[in-house]
Structure formats: C-alpha cells, structure tokens
Amino acid sequence: MKTLLFLLLPFIGLSQATIKGKITDKKGAVLPGANIQIEGSYDGASASEKGEYSFKTDELGDKILSVSMLGYKPTNKKIKIEKGEIQQDFILEESINTLNAVVITAGTFEASDEKKMVMLKPLDIVTTAGGGADITAVMQLLPGANRVGEQEGLYVRGGSANETKTVIDGMIVQNPFFSSTPDVPQRGRFSPFMFKGTAFSTGGYSAQYGQALSSVLLLQTQDKVSDASSLNLNANLAGLSASYTHKGSVNGTLFYSNLAPFLGLVKTNIDFEKIPEAIGASLTINENLTKNSTLKIYGTYSDNVSGLRIRSFDKPAESSVFSLRNKNFFSNASYRSTSEDGNWVFLSGFSYSYNKDLIKTGNDKGDRFDERTQGRVVLNRLFGSEKSNTISVGAEYHAIRSGNIFNQFDLNLKDNYSAVFTESEFYFTPKLAAKIGLRGEYTSVIDRFNVAPRISLAQKTGQYSQVSLAAGRFYQTPEKNYLYLNRTLNYELADHLILNYQRIKDNRTFRIEAFTKQYGQLVFEKTAFFDPNPYRFPTGTSDNSGKGFANGFDVFFRDQKTIKNADIWVTYSYLDTERKFRNYAAQVMPTFASKHNFSLVYKHFIPTIGLNVGATFTATSGRPVYEYGSDLKNPIWTPSFQNLSLATSYIKQVKKHFIVLYATLDNVLGRKNVFGYRYSSDGKQRFEVQPLVYRTFFCGVSWSIGKLDRKPREATLDMD
Amino acid sequence: MKRILLIVSILILKVSVLLAQNPNYAKAMEGLVTEIQSTRFGTTLQPQANKMERIAAAEKVEWLPNYWVAYCYMMESYVEKDDDKRDLLLDKADVFVANIEKMKVTNDETEVLKANIANARMAVSPSIRWMKYGSVVEKALENAKKINPKNPRITLLEAQGVFYTPEMFGGGKAKAKPVFEKAMQQFATFKPVSGMHPTWGEATAKWTLSKIAP
C-alpha cells in the first residue's frame, strides 16, 4: 500500500500545472479580491492585495478560466492547461452600478425612498419646521424657489406659479391646491405620506412632461409594502381625520376640518365671515396583480366653505364679504407591468378631475369650474449592460373644459390637448451619460402644434462629484383668462440652459447650479394704464409680443454628519429676472420675484426620549411693487421677509399603539412681514398685504393602532 | 448480452454523470463552513466567499454553497462603511438567493437567510427602509417558523429585532432578554443535518445577552 502511494506521488506532482497572473482594471489599477476559477472545478484563487493570483491544478487540457469581481463585468478565457507554469493576466471592465454610475442631476432635486442620489426624503418634509407638513411649503425652502407669502404655488427661477405643474404618477393635477382666496395662501391637497418619491425640477426637465415653462413637481405614489391592517386617528387645532388600511392594499380616509380652534388662539389680520370648514373622503387601492404588474387607484372628494371680509380699498371704513364654496374631485389610476425578462416596462394611466368654485364678492356672483380627463401610455425598452440604457415612447391626451361665470358674463373653454414624446437615456461609459428627448404637442383651442427638444448630459468628475448640463425648449398654452377672450394666441415658450456641480460624500451634500432662461412669445395685454391688482380679469387686447429672461445661480449644502442625530441644510438662491408680459408695458422685474432667497433648516432627534426638535429660518429680499397707473420705471420695494419657525414632536409606542404629539410655532420673532400692496381704484390709497396671522401656534396628536413592529425614528409623523 | 452490457454501462455512465459530484465536495464544504462560522465579526469573508462561489459554480444542483456565498456577502455588508457598496454586496447576495430559488429549494435556513439579507438592507438606511424591508423580514421569519419552529436562528433574529428597536417603539433590552434566552435554549438542543449546514448564532446570542445582563 505504502509503495503504491509512493509510486503515485510523483505523478501527482508531475501532472500539476501552476496558473498565475495579475488582475487589473482598464487603467491598470490592481483589483484585490477578484475570484479566478477553472470552470467546473473547485480550483482557483483570490487575487492578492497586489492583484496577483497563483494556484496549482490537476485539471489539464482545454479549460475555461473565468474571473469575477464585485462591480466589474465577469470575463473568461479558453486556455490549454499543460504541466508547468501558465501566465494569464486579465483586464476587467467596470459594470454600471450605483457606485460608479453618473446620474443626471441638472435641474432636478430628487427625494425618494429608492434612488441612491437622494437629497430629501419624504419624511424630511414632515419634520421641517415652518413647512407645516405641506409638500409645496417645504419645496419653497429648496434652491430655485422664490418665496411668495400671499399666494399658493411654486414660483421657480423667475417663473409665475402657473409655470409649475404638479404631476402625480405621470398625470397632471389640475387643482393641486385648495381653491384660492384673495391674499390667503392655500395648502396643497395631498399629504406627503401618499408619496414614496418627490422630484422637484427647477428646469430642463424630461420630454415626458410638458405644459410648464419653469418647473414640474413630480410625485410618485407609494407602492404596496405590507399586508398589515391599521387604523390611524388624527386630531389637531384645524380638524380631525380617521384612516383605515385593510391588509396593506385598501385605504379609506375621512376628514373634517374647521379652523375655529386655530384661529381662536390668535389675532388674525383678516376677518372671517365664515371660518373655513371642509369635509372630505379618499379611497386608495394599491394591489400587486402579479409578480410583475401593479395597479393603483386613488380617488378623493372634498367640499370646502369659507368667507372672508375684505376691506374696500376705495372706502376704508367699508368692507365686503368674499365667500367661497369649493367642490373638488380627483381620481387617478395607473397600471404598470414589466416583462418577465425585465427588458420592457409598460405604464398606463387615466385620470379624471372636476373642480367647482362658487364665489360671491359683495353683490357680484362668480362661478368657476374646471374639468380634465386624461390618459397616458408609455413604453420603455431597457437594454445594455445592467439594463442601464432606456428608450421610451409615449403619448398623452387631455380633454379640458373650463368655465368662468361672472354676473352676466359666461365664458367657456374647450381644449383637446395631445402630445407624443420619445426619450432615450444612455451611458457611453459608467461615468458619462446622456438623455435626449423630443416632445410634440397639439392644442386644439388655439389650433397650434409645437415640437420641443430636450437634452441633458452628466459626467462624473471624481468618486463623489459630478457635473451635469441640461438644455431644452418648453412650451405652455396661454393662461385660460386670456384664452377666454382671444383664441388666436400662440404658445408661450422658454429656453433653459442649466449647469450643475454636485458632490456627495459621507452624508454631506454640496451642490451649485447656474442657469439662464429666455422667455419668448409671452402673452402681453395692452391696457390704457397699469392696474397692479393681481386678481384683475384681463380686458385689453392681447398678443404674443411679451418676452423676458431669468439668470442666476443657487447653492445648497446639507450636512447630516458633523452633529450626531442632526440634519442641517442651507440654501441660497440668486435671481436676476425681467419680463414684459400680462399687463406690464415694459420689461421689468415681476412682482413675485425676489433677488435673494436664503433658508437654514436645522433638525435634531434625541433618540433616548423620542423627541424631535427643529428650527427653520428664512429670509427673502424685498419684492418690487408697481404703483397704480405707473410707467413701471420706478418700483417701490417691500421690506425684506424674515421668518423663524420652531417645531417639535414626541413619539411613544405602547404595544400596538403608536402616538405622536407635535407642536409648531411660526414666526417666533413676531416680525410684521409685508407681502406687497393693494391700491384703491383711483390709485391714491395704498394698503399692505399682510399674512393671515403674524405668529401662529399649532399642535396636534396622531394615534395609530395596528401592527407597528420595527418602527424606527419619526416614522409616522403625520402632521395633516 | 453484449448489447445489454453496453446499455447498462451507458446508463451507469449517464447516471454517474448526473450525480457527478466532486469527491472532495463534503470535505471542502465542511472545512470552509467551519472557517466561515468561526471568523470573527469584522474580519472580511471575501476569500471564503470566493472559494464558496467556486464550489457553487461547479456544483450546480447544490443549494448549500449558494447559501454560504449569500451569507458571506450579507455579513460583509455590515463590515463595509460605504452605503452604496453595502447595497452592491447585498445585490450580489441576492444573486445566490435567486440561484437557490431556481432550484426550487425552500427550507427554514433559506428563509432565515432572506430575513437576514432584508435586515442588512434595512441597516443601510433604517429610517427610510423599515417600511419596505421590515415586512420582508417578518414574512420570511413567519415562513421559516412554519417549516421548523425549533430553529434557533429564527428566534435569534426576532430577539435582535426587539433589541435594536428603540424602547419608545416597543423594543429595548429588557424586552429582548427573554427572547434571547429562548434562542439559547433552542441552540442547546439544535442538531445540524450535516457539517455543511449552518450552526451560527449561538455566540452572538450569548454576547448580546452579556450586554443585557445588569
């Protein structure tokens, strides 16, 4: 036996081969830890710190030697293994992954659960002091947004509020805010908790969207994540709500709001004839139909009433009542399916919305309504390494009806809007990406057609930094108030050019973006004299001779590292803008624009006692005001706006009960901010536009019952 | 007769090809499994992962090598500091879980592994990911319990879940203690099917209990 072994031993030695080599990337950097293997056998080795490997094998003959390494494309080579030493080096190519892939960031500010390059997450929205858990209010703290205190909406880089469109799962939301009342800004209709992701575009956005000269706010609704049932009850100074989720897929919510307790605490600058009161309900169905397809349906209805006493600017002792009743219905259904191999993604959506405002101002009766039915289909084809490249084609169709009745006047509008678009996003290398898109639109009410190109590029400049560029043309159908009287108008347009630099490392983000925007074909109205009333109805003849520009830059810094459990963001935006539009007879800075916008947000979580505290400071330089009948040459300026807000919340879980208490104090310093001026009809008297209240206190409680294991941090801080 | 012999020998050849397993399989596995399970937390498992991956590539019908590659990458994700890289490591772990699924193999250990990976995903960004991955962990542990309620690793993961949940959310050390103790009892009587099967967890349970004890 021993002799046999003895005889065999030399054979083993003789029949062995040694394979060795070096593994590097394309630039020659060594790749320690790479795995080298002879296919079908256990024989192989890991590359050393120097990227070198060496192993002995008995597997002689024609074999395949394969190499794999995390973050690189696997490769292999046919080799003939013979006794002795074989040298085989490999050069590996990087695969596209979250570590090395550049992301197009020019013009977009993304907040989502899934994307890695996130800036702001949905939870950040509700924990921001001064944001009031309102998506738009928090977006106003981001770079590019101009703060306007007396009206709702997002004013982006010199654009007016109606140049920003809110989009939910690809569908335009016609009435994203509660109906406007004079000089009292309204909240958004949607709770931040409905959405898994929020992308705020400050320009140069994708060809998938249109009809917004300045910006789109893209909201993506939550997916079904669990089968748990739960009940949530909320009470605060403005109302009550109850919400029940059945097995994670069906949610029903009822709410009643009444501002009486809130307004009772403080002295308001506006007298209410009827304290705002609302009742509403919503239903959400969220189901994963198969492994590769999902269906989401959302519907909501609300009915609001309010009445405010507005002083007469002509006879200051007198006042009249502005009363509003609003009925709003919004529904949205979307279906998504992915092919088995993941190469095709099909998206379709349908939405119907209806909004009616019954308005009485003194003895004048007004009645506004909007209705929009829209459908959308998009087909995406994914291809290339790690399916990182995409080609999309899509189409949308909207049937829009709107009307405005004012005493004896009855104005109506019917528009059929259709659009087709195609877009491709591809990686030349993991470090260089481009997105090219083209959008064509037809608007029946003006019988016009447009084609808008969009392009963006991004290049990684280091492991953590990148530059990105976006450019494109954007069209928008004129505002309906002009279309009621003039159907010969053409689209308004804007050309954007944006350059962005971003660096993200260790929970610190730095971002700087410069932009230039050229407006053309803006609607201009000839009037005999200048009337500064923003709520006026156009009366003069109109054409597309308006134009303008907006140039500027903004800086954003966020730090979640320096102070443990703290989150700090600092934003500064500079804006230089002028335009000739609406009833502006000359090209001047619009009244909603401000040159300097600054905000500082601080949040601190104290885990041991479950307490969250935060403060937000904002400052905005004065805005121009043009006096009644002025030639617009010498504006007067409002004082600068400043606000310091505090917020705190406390969370406690007892078995299946989860309780959140929260309180906010707005304008702590009690600064008497002025948003602008209103004039008497002879132009001789001037009145300040003041906030609803100078200093507000707000508090509430949220109570959830249900399966709530593993709930970390400020998870259900629902402040609505 | 010759023909019969030929057929028989072809059949034998075919069967043996089907069952062709490296004669070193069990030995190589046992050695490596011991190595993986005795590696101190914080030490890289990349070399072991590589070796295991080579075995997994050669033994296409065995779920255990795939289990251990996934396990190594899951553990490795806790050692890594860069969040993006942690996800990349877990993406790799998912590839091997998918391999096991393709073999139509499901048992208590593979379910515990899925829970483990979901936990690791959650650990990358807890406040954002708890919703998505919390329920994945729960579901996987539920499935595992249905198959083998006595598996101590199920109890260990449950105990860790309670331990790392802040007190105000119904977790905390005091509440975790009895669950860890239950896991310890289960570990005491647990017998693995073979030396290639997982036995890890007892040391972790013991260590955490020592942190809880006043």
State the complex-level ipTM: 0.85
Within-domain flag for B204: yes
Within-domain flag for B138: yes
Determine the distance in angstroms separating the CA of A709 from the nearest CA of chain B, rounded to an integer. 7
B106 and B207 belong to one structural domain:
no
Cross-chain Cβ contact B170/A35 below 8 Å: no
Within-domain flag for B4: no
Cross-chain Cβ contact A98/B92 below 8 Å: no
Beta bridge partners of A310: A320
Residue B13 has pLDDT above 50, yes or no: no
Determine the distance in angstroms separating the CA of B35 from the nearest CA of chain A, rounded to an integer. 16
Beta carbons within 8 Å of B98's beta carbon, 6+ residues apart: none
Cross-chain Cβ contact B165/A709 below 8 Å: yes
B83 and B133 belong to one structural domain:
yes
Quick one: closest CA in A to B60, which residue?
Answer: A40
B144 and B48 belong to one structural domain:
yes
Q: Which residue, B133, B148, B163, sits at the end of a domain? A: B148
Three-state SS string over A514-572 comes to EEEEEEEEEEEEECCCCCCCCCCCCCCEEEEEEEEEEEEEEEEEEECCCCCCEEEEEEE
Task: Please say whether the beta carbons of A41 and A58 come within 8 A.
Answer: no
In this prediction, residue A1 carries a pLDDT of: 43
The sheet with strand A164-168 has its strands ordered as A108-112, A195-201, A215-221, A164-168, A171-172
Quick one: closest CA in A to B46, which residue?
Answer: A33
Three-state SS string over A295-336 comes to EEEEEEEEEEEEEEEEECCCCCCCEEEEEEEEEEEEEEEEEE
B78 and B99 belong to one structural domain:
yes
Cross-chain Cβ contact A712/B166 below 8 Å: yes
Structural domains of chain A sorted by starting position, each given as residue range(s) with its CATH number in brackets: 16-92 (2.60.40.1120), 108-706 (2.40.170.20)
Q: Which residues of chain A have pLDDT under 50?
A: 1-13, 113-118, 709-720
In this prediction, residue B201 carries a pLDDT of: 93
Provide the 3-class DSSP secondary structure of residue A401.
Answer: strand
B61 and B143 belong to one structural domain:
yes
Q: Give residue for tokens 């969009």.
A: A454
Burial class of residue A19 (count of CB atoms within 10 Å of its CB; 0-12, 13-18, 19+): buried
Which phi and psi angles does A696 have, rounded to 5°?
-120, 145
B61 and B134 belong to one structural domain:
yes
Task: Please say whether the beta carbons of A126 and A718 come within 8 A.
Answer: yes
Residue with the larger pLDDT of the pair B167 and A463:
A463
Crossing angle (nearest 10°) for helices B25-38 and B63-79: 20
Type of residue numbered A295: L
Within-domain flag for B10: no
Q: Which residue, B132, B148, B164, sits at the end of a domain? A: B148
Task: Please say whether the beta carbons of A233 and A255 come within 8 A.
Answer: no
pTM of the model: 0.84
B67 and B131 belong to one structural domain:
yes
Quick one: closest CA in A to B54, which residue?
Answer: A42
- Name chain B contacts of A225, Cβ cutoff 8 Å: 131-132, 135
Find, among A303, A306, A354, the residue nearest to A326 by Cα: A303
Find, among A671, A717, A669, A663, the residue nearest to A262 by Cα: A663
B106-163 pLDDT, tens digit each: 999 999 999 999 999 988 877 777 777 888 898 999 999 999 999 999 999 999 988 8
Cross-chain Cβ contact B57/A37 below 8 Å: yes
B54 and B160 belong to one structural domain:
no
DSSP assignment of A38-92: ETTSS-EEE--TTSEEEEEE---EEEEEEEE-TTB--EEEEEEE-SEEEE--EEE
User: How far is the CA of A194 from the CAs of A176, A345, A354, in angstroms?
Assistant: 14, 23, 20
Residue-range definition of the domain harbouring residue B56:
26-148
Beta carbons within 8 Å of A197's beta carbon, 6+ residues apart: A110, A111, A112, A113, A114, A115, A122, A218, A219, A220
B78 and B117 belong to one structural domain:
yes
B40 and B129 belong to one structural domain:
yes
Find, among A73, A108, A119, A143, the residue nearest to A425 by Cα: A108
CB atoms within 10 A of CB B11: 10
Q: Which residue, B90, B118, B148, sits at the end of a domain? A: B148
Partner-chain residue, chosen from B50, B126, B131, that has the shortest CB–CB distance to A35: B50
Q: For an interface test with B, give the residue of A68, A94, A710 to mutate (most B CBs within 10 A).
A: A710
Distance spanning both ends of chain B, measured CA to CA = 80
Within-domain flag for B21: no
Within-domain flag for B3: no
B36 and B122 belong to one structural domain:
yes
| Alpha-carbon span B187 to A626, nearest angstrom | 80
Beta carbons within 8 Å of A3's beta carbon, 6+ residues apart: none
Within-domain flag for B155: yes
Find, among A327, A355, A296, the residue nearest to A168 by Cα: A296
Determine the distance in angstroms separating the CA of A46 from the nearest CA of chain B, rounded to an integer. 6
Total tally of structural domains belonging to chain B: 2
In this prediction, residue B188 carries a pLDDT of: 94
How do the residues of chain B divide into helix, strand and coil, expressed in percent and rounded to 5?
A: 75, 0, 25
Partner-chain residue, chosen from A33, A39, A225, that has the shortest CB–CB distance to B57: A39
Arithmetic mean of pLDDT over chain A: 88
Determine the distance in angstroms separating the CA of B177 from the nearest CA of chain A, rounded to an integer. 17
Quick one: closest CA in B to A100, which residue?
Answer: B84
Find, among A90, A74, A108, A76, the residue nearest to A28 by Cα: A90
Within-domain flag for B159: yes
Cross-chain Cβ contact A97/B88 below 8 Å: yes
Quick one: closest CA in B to A708, which residue?
Answer: B169
How many H-runs (helices) and E-runs (strands) does chain A carry?
Answer: 5, 41
B134 and B200 belong to one structural domain:
no
In this prediction, residue A718 carries a pLDDT of: 32
